[in-house]
């Protein structure tokens, strides 16, 4: 494949490599992690950041979404090209107040921001690559529970997560009910829907179709599957935003003066290309595949007698919130959670033009809900 194509793919060469070390990021070794499949990932390391002081009963665990990372709050800097993804929600005097709470954000098992994943070295000293075992959301929570043990946190005052982070939050509250006092679930679901599975599987196939994917063993190559990851992210990003927002922001506006038929681009094309290129420069394709497949495994009712039986086991005081314009995780999925979690109360609806990404964008509305739960 040439470096320039009619799809507007970026002339990116080189396999993915992690960025500069992050000064605020810390690491904990949690030993071996036994997976649901029976496989074991040996000598797992979890990367994390923390804010505030732990007093024994004030720890808050913030769980990032699919391509998120540990940098939930704080300025841009080495290894972090942007401020924290919830920077106005977490901090001194903010809704999640780091003067009152000890806030922890850990990178997910299988990720690529310091936690053991496909780009990490296996016991033989070579990157895991295609040899990294398949994992589930429950496996990720098992690793986070071991991380909590190593950190010295027995009980979380609150566990907070949106989207894929909300999936892990649900499993935390079911697998370890005695360790979760409060639970905040945003734009998530009890089980991955057919639509969510279809979109994720298609994105994964796009990555695998990149001629430089090399079966997942591309780390020593001059090129990696950056173009496949770019395209997969564009597909994902369309589902993250609402039709109304795309129409309002872009409509049929041209990015260039040329007519589309003459090689010009619509502004919405340029927008998607930007987001695809941005992810391809900071994320590992193997992690994207692995974490997407883990999300597709999500079903709290699996092996527990169904969704209702599983949700009935949650003892945490719970707030469930959904985004009114979310077409990827529609409101009826959060309504199911609010209806069947014993101490959930009414569903909170966040008004947003931004679709699924509203849980990352609507800081004021989300902050009020978080503050009320933590009060």
What positions carry a catalytic annotation?
A: 163, 326, 356
Handedness of CA 144, 69, 375, 308 (dihedral sign): negative
Helix (H, G, I), strand (E, B) or coil at 293: helix
CA atoms within 13 A on the CB side of 1: 22
In angstroms, the Cα distances linking 193 to 105, 308, 337 are 27, 16, 14
Rounded CA separation 291/194 (Å): 17
Q: DSSP states of 226-274 as a string?
A: HHHHHHHHHHHHHHHS-HHHHHHHTTT-BSSSS-GGGT--BHHHHHHHH
Question: Strand pairing of 102-106 and 90-91?
Answer: unpaired
CA distance 321 to 82: 26
**Spatial contact of 209 and 229, defined as CB atoms under 8 Å apart:** no
Question: What phi, psi does 40 have (nearest 5°)?
Answer: -130, 135
- Do β-strands 90-91 and 158-162 pair in parallel, antiparallel, or remain unpaired? unpaired
Locate all alpha helices (DSSP H) within the chain, ordered by sequence. Answer: 137-151, 164-175, 194-209, 226-240, 243-249, 267-280, 285-296, 307-311, 331-340, 358-361, 363-374
Strand 90-91, strand 182-186: pairing? unpaired
Which tokens in the block code for residue 323?
A: 């985004």
């Amino acid at each position: 494949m040439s470096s320039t194509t009619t799809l507007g793919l970026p002339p990116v060469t080189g396999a993915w490599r992690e960025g500069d070390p992050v000064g605020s990021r810390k690491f904990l070794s949690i030993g071996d992690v036994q997976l649901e499949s029976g496989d074991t990932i040996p000598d797992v390391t979890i990367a994390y950041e923390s804010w505030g002081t732990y007093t024994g009963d004030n720890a808050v665990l913030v769980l990032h979404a699919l391509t998120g990372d540990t940098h939930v709050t704080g300025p841009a800097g080495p290894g972090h090209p942007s401020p924290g993804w919830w920077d106005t929600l977490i901090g001194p005097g903010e809704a999640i107040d780091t003067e009152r709470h000890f806030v922890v954000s850990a990178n997910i098992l299988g990720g690529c921001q310091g936690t053991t994943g496909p780009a990490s070295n296996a016991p033989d000293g070579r990157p895991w690559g295609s040899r990294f075992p398949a994992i589930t959301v429950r496996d990720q929570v098992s690793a986070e529970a071991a991380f909590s043990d190593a950190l010295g946190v027995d009980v979380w005052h609150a566990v907070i997560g949106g989207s894929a982070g909300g999936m892990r939050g649900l499993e935390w509250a079911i697998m370890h009910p005695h360790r979760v006092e409060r639970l905040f679930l945003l734009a998530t679901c009890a089980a991955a829907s057919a639509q969510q599975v279809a979109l994720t599987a298609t994105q994964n196939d796009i990555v695998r179709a990149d001629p430089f994917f090399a079966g997942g063993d591309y780390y020593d190559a001059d090129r990696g599957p950056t173009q496949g990851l770019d395209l997969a992210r564009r597909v994902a990003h369309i589902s993250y935003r609402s039709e109304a927002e795309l129409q309002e922001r872009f409509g049929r506006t041209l990015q260039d003066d040329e007519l589309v038929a003459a090689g010009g681009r619509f502004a919405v094309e340029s927008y998607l290309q930007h987001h695809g290129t941005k992810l391809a420069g900071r994320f590992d394709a193997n992690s994207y595949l692995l974490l997407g497949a883990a999300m597709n495994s999500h079903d709290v009712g699996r092996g527990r007698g169904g969704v209702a039986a599983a949700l009935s086991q949650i003892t945490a005081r719970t707030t469930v919130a959904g985004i009114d314009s979310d077409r990827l995780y529609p409101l009826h999925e959060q309504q199911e959670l609010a209806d069947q979690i014993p101490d959930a109360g009414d569903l909170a609806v966040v008004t947003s033009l931004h679709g699924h990404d509203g849980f990352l964008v609507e800081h004021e509305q989300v902050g009020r809900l978080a503050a009320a739960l933590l009060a």
